[in-house]
Amino acid sequence: MTMSEKTVPASSGSGGALREKRRSPWWEVWRRLRRNKAAVAGMTVVILLLFVAVFAPLIAPYDPNQTNIKIRLQPPSAEHLMGTDNFGRDMFSRVIYGSRISLYVGFIAVGIGAVFGGILGAVGGYYGGRLDNFIMRCMDVLLAIPQIILAIAIVGALGTSLLNLMIAVGISQLPRYARVVRASTLTVRGQEFVEAAKAIGASDTRIILENILPNCMAPIIVQSTLGVAQAILAAATLSFLGLGIQPPTAEWGSMLSSGRQFLRNAPYLTFFPGVAISIVVLALNIFGDGLRDSLDPKLRQ
């Protein structure tokens, strides 16, 4: 829609922009986001999923870990919407509960990646020079190892656990946050308010925390939203390979993995968890795209 920007003066510099200035920039982002139908749909699904995850015990018709081998491997029916697995556990309940793990893993892993990557990027970008060089070389090293293999090796070394899974995914995502934050830091670093803060003798830590980081928020938020989607995918991949999730925890990747042996006779065991993963990741990606466009109208297409 911005095709017209070159030929028609957009709101920049005109009265309209002046009017908007009174409102906070976040309100402006929200206003733009609201108008993006796809992003709103994505956001709705994400919120719905959060809701499902929080209220899983109320929504799930059965205890997800209740085994009953008498009713094992039943195809979907009115009683068991998604059938039952090889222990007679209700797949629907397990898929519902699985949303908890997936979202949890996604957010924590991204938290780990964003916090540590962010710190490294901010420090590197702020101080520059050799330290920066060293940090970025380290990131290059991490980037040179294919993500999945790095994560598998890390889980292999630390042992199989949910926490280690999140650490592995977080570490393998580190470089991208470091890069994003570093780039923003570099642009912010030279600006007047940073110079001013330095002049009044603010400590470096304080400048980074109070002046620099808030100005890097937009790219971090966008990167994180998309990062959560990818972290969920990565975590599902690892648990599909049998790393990370302890049974009988209902987690989509490991449900897929154990359903795989029944692919021929009970394909619904692999079908539904896969659909669930796809929907979450899709919703997060759509939402992330919309958020990016809203935060940076120049990127809008």
Partner 1 sequence: MKVFRPVLCALLLVAAMSVPAFAAEIRLAQVADISSLDPHKVSDIYSANVIRQIYSNLVQVNENMEIVPDLAESWENPDDLTWIFHLRKGITFHNGEPFTAKDVKYSIERIRNPETASPGATHLKEVQSVEAPDDYTVKIVTKRPFAPMLMSLTRYETSILNEKAVSASGADYGSKAAVGTGPFKFVEWSRGDKVTLEKNPEYFRGPAVLDRVIYRGIPEDATRLIELESGGVDLIPGNFPYQEFANIEKNDKYLTYKVPAMSTLYMGLNTEVKPFGDKLVRQAMNYAVDKQAIVDAVYFGFAAPSRGPLSPVIWGFDPTRTAVYPYDPVKAKELLKQAGYADGFDMTIYSDNRTERRSAAELIQAYLAEVGIRANIELMEWSALLSTSAKGIGGAFMLGWTGTGDADGGMTPVYHSANIGSSNRFRYKSEGIDALLDKGTATLDQDARKKVYAEVQELITEECPLVFMISQELLGASSKKVQGFKLYPNMISPLYTVTLSE
Partner 2 sequence: MKDTLLEIKDLNVIYKTYEGTVAAVNGVDFALDRGKTLGLVGESGAGKTTTALSIMGLVPSPPGIIQRGRVTFAGQDLLTLPEKDMKKIRGNRISMIFQDPMTSLNPVLSVGLQISEALVAHQNLSEAEAERKAAEMLEKVQIPGARYREYPHEFSGGMRQRVVIAMALACNPRLIIADEPTTALDVTIQAQVLELMRSLKEEFATAMIMITHDLGVVGEVCDDVAVMYAGRIVEMGSLDQIFGNAMHPYTLGLFRCIPDIEEESSTIHPIEGLMPEPLDLPKGCPFHPRCPQCMEVCRQVVPEACEDNGHRVLCHLFGGGERRA
Partner 3 sequence: MLRYFTKRLIFLIPVLLGVSIVIFAIVHLAPGDPAEVMLGPSATQEDIGKLREQLGLTKPLYVQYWIFLTNALKGDLGRSIKSNAPVLEEILERFPATLTLASLGMLFAITVGLPLGVLAALKQNTWVDALCSFFALVGFSIPNFWVGLMLMLLLSITIPILPSSGFDSWKNLIMPTIVLGIQTMAVIARMTRSSMLEVIRQDYVRTARAKGISDRLVLTRHILTNVMIPVVTIAGIYFGHSLGGVVITETIFSIPGLGRLIVDAIRAQDYPVVQGGVLFFALCVGIVNLLVDLLYAVLDPRIKAQYRSAK
Tell me which residues touch partner 2 (CB under 8 A): 1, 3-4, 6-9, 11, 13-16, 35
Cα gap 6→66, rounded to integer Å: 63
Cα gap 10→294, rounded to integer Å: 16
- The answer to whether 289 contacts partner 3 (rule: CB under 8 A) is yes
Instruction: State the minimum distance, in angstroms, from the CB of residue 188 to partner 3.
Output: 25
- Bin 242: left if φ > 0, else alpha if -120 < ψ < 50, else beta: left
Nearer to partner 3, 236 or 250 (CB): 236
Alpha helices in 64-203 (DSSP H): 91-127, 129-144, 147-158, 162-189, 192-199
Instruction: State the minimum distance, in angstroms, from the CB of residue 13 to partner 2.
Output: 7
Alpha-carbon separation of residue 197 from 5, 122, 188, 201, 207 (angstroms): 37, 16, 12, 7, 7
Among all chains, which residue has been given the structure tokens 């919703």? 283
Of these partners, partner 3, partner 1, partner 2, none, which one is at the site of residue 14 (CB under 5 to 8 Å by kind)?
Answer: partner 2
Judged by CB under 8 A, the residue of 40, 45, 73, 148 near partner 3 is: 148
Instruction: State the minimum distance, in angstroms, from the CB of residue 65 to partner 1.
Output: 7
Q: Which residues bind partner 3 (CB under 8 A)?
A: 1, 3, 6, 137-138, 140-149, 152-154, 156-159, 229, 233, 236-237, 240-241, 253, 256, 260, 263-264, 267, 270-271, 274, 277-278, 281-282, 285-286, 289, 301
Q: Which residues bind partner 1 (CB under 8 A)?
A: 65-67, 69, 72-73, 86-88, 156, 159-161, 242-243, 245-248, 258, 260-265
